[in-house]
Amino acid sequence: MVLIEQLLSKTQVEEFRSSLNQVPWNDGKETAMGMASGVKQNGQTDASDKQVQALANKLLGIFGSTPKLISAALPHRIFPPCFNRYSSGETYGFHVDAAIMRMPHNNEVLRSDMSMTTFLSEADEYDGGELIIQTEFGEQKVKLNAGDAVLYPSSSLHKVTPVTAGERVAAITWMQSLVPNIHMRQTLYELDQSIQGLLQNPSIQRDELDRLHHVYHNLIRQSSQV
């Protein structure tokens, strides 16, 4: 599970929220599949709406220019972001995201390796509404500030607790990684973050960094699927 602070600036959050106030919203159950439909109670934007598609494309552009996200997910395909909101009494019970998703407007499919929630409401704008993710270390509770995001394995059982006051707005998406093995992906992320940290140290010799880059990229070559 990786937290990405300030994926969106406060100005960008305001722009997204303002635009989302002007688009059509549907019952979230309409997009739920299988058992998830029985536990999903929220609203979701109409993915066929041109303004919603423009917002999704804008967010995709931001994803592609966020080094920490690229490092953690090594994305091969990214599902166009969806926007959801939870008003008082709404919730999404424990569920697991579909393993295979059909990309909109074409016949390609995406294997969901990583899921991501980008929070568009400030944490103090609503009560409840925590994202609960089951991990090998127990349940992790996530409630971040507007503009922050959390990236986690799509294989995890997760839920959104009932919102008891206010409104929770977020963007959600799924990614197929170039490296499907979760343990290798985590190792590569930690290695890359170490390299990025060493780059800030002026006393580190260039040949040391070259050796680490050599190891990093060769590990990707050995473990990636394209």
Q: What is the rounded end-to-end Cα distance, in angstroms, of the chain?
A: 24
Rg (CA), the chain: 18
Do 37 and 137 fall within a single domain?
yes
Distance separating alpha carbons of residues 145 and 66, to the nearest angstrom: 18
Do 61 and 161 fall within a single domain?
yes
What phi and psi, each to the nearest 5 degrees, are found at residue 8? -115, 140
List pLDDT tens digits, range 91-110.
999 999 999 999 987 889 99
Do 95 and 187 fall within a single domain?
no
Q: Is 214 annotated as ligand-binding?
A: no
pLDDT score recorded for residue 217 = 95
Number of alpha carbons in the 13 Å side-chain half-sphere of residue 184:
17
- Run of H or E including 47: none
pLDDT score recorded for residue 106 = 82
Question: Which of 171, 181, 167 is CA-nearest to residue 151?
Answer: 171
State the pTM of this model.
Answer: 0.92
Do 115 and 27 fall within a single domain?
yes
List pLDDT tens digits, range 152-167.
999 999 999 999 999 9
12 is written with which tokens? 């960008």
Q: Is 213 annotated as ligand-binding?
A: no
Residue 197's domain comprises 182-223
Q: Is 95 annotated as ligand-binding?
A: yes
Do 215 and 142 fall within a single domain?
no
Do 97 and 164 fall within a single domain?
yes
Q: Is 207 annotated as ligand-binding?
A: no
Do 52 and 88 fall within a single domain?
yes
